[in-house]
Chains A and B, each alone.
Chain A
Amino acid sequence: LLLGELVPTMHGFLAKHLQFHIVGTFIVSLGTATFCNFAIAEPGKKAYADFYRNYDSMKDFEVKRKAGIFQSAK
């Protein structure tokens, strides 16, 4: 065995470390954004769509009128 074959690699560590973690960074941050989209943005849009799908403004008005909140409609 030649001595040269037993010497371990002692360079390129930072580059390897960075490459691994830069890919990891993008995965984490894109994952965060995707999570935000599906946990906050999409449910928000759905909540409004669901509320207005079968919304009856006159029925809503009658409920509020009976509660006595309006000055112009007792």
Chain B
Amino acid sequence: MAYPMQLGFQDATSPIMEELLHFHDHTLMIVFLISSLVLYIISLMLTTKLTHTSTMNAQEVETIWTILPAIILILIALPSLRILYMMDEINNPSLTVKTMGHQWYWSYEYTDYEDLSFDSYMIPTSELKPGELRLLEVDNRVVLPMETTIRMLVSSEDVLHSWAVPSLGLKTDAIPGRLNQTTLMSSRPGLYYGQCSEICGSNHSFMPIVLELVPLKYFEKWSASML
């Protein structure tokens, strides 16, 4: 979950999110390289009285400042495309869960074996127990088996919503009349929080998502108890 004074991403819980974290570090390094280059040159220009007013051609420097940015862009594009294709790898999910966005709650359907469906409303601040997180807790969490590939199908019953869980690197738009698919794989057990990420009305900020990742045995017991 997010924490106060946070500057970077939340800790990665899935292999894809780890890749995205490292890619971000790589790209930020390139950004610092370019920024320090430009800042140094600006300070250079501002601290000299020397001038040259008869420049006629600049063929060499034009070549350099075309080729160098092209190389930098390739250095960014290659890891980026690698991760993009990694996200689309065939992974044979063991479970399919559907989530429908509503104004203003999420509903979940586990229909692989039995018909299990439930709504997930935010717990109002006045009803929170000590230790619970404001604007993030829900009454019925999405319990899922850890270390398993899960297919999430995301859609909406009314307006646009977006189902997002930052620590798993997931954000999938919920569009009425359309089925979007994403793959979920958590490397660790625990609670992972997210919030609706597409403006959907007055309570857009009050329809969070909580994933509870547990071992398969506990997931099976939970789903049997929910029927």
Cα distance A32–B146 when bound, in Å? 40
Cα distance A52–B50 when bound, in Å? 57
Cα distance A69–B101 when bound, in Å? 26
> What is the interface size of chain B, counting residues whose CB is below 8 A from a CB of the partner?
38
- Contact call B32/A33, Cβ cutoff below 8 A: yes
Interface size class of A (residues with CB under 8 A): 20 to 34
Cα distance A36–B28 when bound, in Å? 8
Cα distance A26–B33 when bound, in Å? 9
Asked if A60 is an interface residue, CB under 8 A from chain B, the answer is yes
Please pick, from B12, B26, B41, B50, the residue contacting A25 in the complex, using a CB distance under 8 A: B41
- Contact call B214/A36, Cβ cutoff below 8 A: no
- Contact call A57/B21, Cβ cutoff below 8 A: no
Number of A-B residue pairs having CB atoms within 8 Å of each other in the complex: 93
- Contact call B33/A61, Cβ cutoff below 8 A: no
Known A-B contacts A36-B28, A72-B212, A72-B214; A64 and B189 likewise in contact (beta carbons under 8 Å): yes
Known A-B contacts A41-B29, A48-B18, A71-B212; A61 and B36 likewise in contact (beta carbons under 8 Å): no
A residues whose Cβ falls under 8 Å from a Cβ of B = 13-15, 17, 21, 24-26, 28-30, 32-33, 36-37, 40-41, 44-45, 48, 52, 55, 57-58, 60-61, 64, 69-73
B residues whose Cβ falls under 8 Å from a Cβ of A = 12, 18, 21-22, 25-26, 28-30, 32-34, 36-37, 40-41, 44, 48, 50-52, 140-141, 143, 146-147, 187-191, 212, 214-215, 218-219, 221-222
